Amino acid sequence: MTGAAPLVWLPFDPAELGDPPEAFTYEVVDPTTSVPDSVGDVEIYVPPYAVGPHVADVIPRMTSLRYVQTLTAGVDNIRQAVPEGVTLCSGRGIHDTSTAELVLTLVLASLRGVPGFVRAQDRHEWTPGWHPALADRTVLLVGYGAIGAAVEARLAPFECEVVRVARSAREGVHAVSELPDLLPGADVVVLVLPLTEESRGLVDAAFLAAMKDGALLVNVARGPVVDTPALVEALHAGRVRAAIDVVDPEPLPADSPLWGCPGLLVSPHVGGSSSAMWPRAHRLVRDQLHRLARGEEPVNVMSGDY
């Protein structure tokens, strides 16, 4: 990059980066609460960590904008607001560790009946019994990017079989179009794919009907990937179980039928929210800024759908 001290908006103190490039000027800004007069001078925008569309509202006022670096792996909340000619980069790599840990937490808690134990503890009841293990199960990973690979790495010690699925087939990875043949053999189905027009509503009544009786659906992707009425019906029918970190809409309304569904574990979109996130976020932003300061191309550029 050239020019005198291009302006960077960060959602955190630049000191958190360790050694931010001296070629830039930095301001700590959360434009969802207030927008400084310098908005027209911003060349690099790192939005606050949030999945709602409100982080994109300020972008039309950024007349000097050249780069947007999100702290989220998905960019569906901001992509439509980024004008042509501005480079959008995702937070790929920031949330792999946190999200993969949550996937394992949700899978193991659901299979081993932990929610029931907690409720029994609240009632001061001792409730022994048998529950399925993860060992010897088949886990279908729907979405095999960085997070999918991180989930697989953590599944490896659990003596289960992992089947990989992505938008298009490649060596060792099945295509999404093969799901009707793969779903009946899966004990656990983990959704880690991005939200696109192709994936919206992917998990519909037909998808759920193809799942094995008693199989577990885990969603850490985006809420709209799952057809909520279809999931509610399948849960009440006792056909499947589910553990979901994302819903549609968010936050989940108090009157949502999901709250009362049997066999369902809900976490409030905390896949990326752990102590592992910020060191990785700071590292990615720092490295991106150093690339730009050297005149190099950034990584994680969103040039296609995904």
Catalytic residue numbers read 222, 250, 269
What b/e string do you get for 8-36 counting C-beta neighbours within 10 Å, with b at 16 or more? bbbbbebeebeebbebbebeebbbbeeee
**Cα–Cα distance, 193 to 88 (Å, whole number):** 19
Closest CA to 177 of 194, 196, 199, 192: 199
> Per residue, what are the HEC states of 26-42?
EEECCCCCCCCHHHHHE
Burial class (CB in 10 A: 0-12, 13-18, 19+), 115: middle
DSSP 163: E
Inter-CA distances, 157 with 3, 138, 147, 153, 182, Å: 51, 14, 17, 8, 23
Q: How many CB atoms within 10 Å of residue 268?
A: 11
Residue 61 is encoded by which pair of tokens? 């006022």
**Cα–Cα distance, 140 to 182 (Å, whole number):** 8
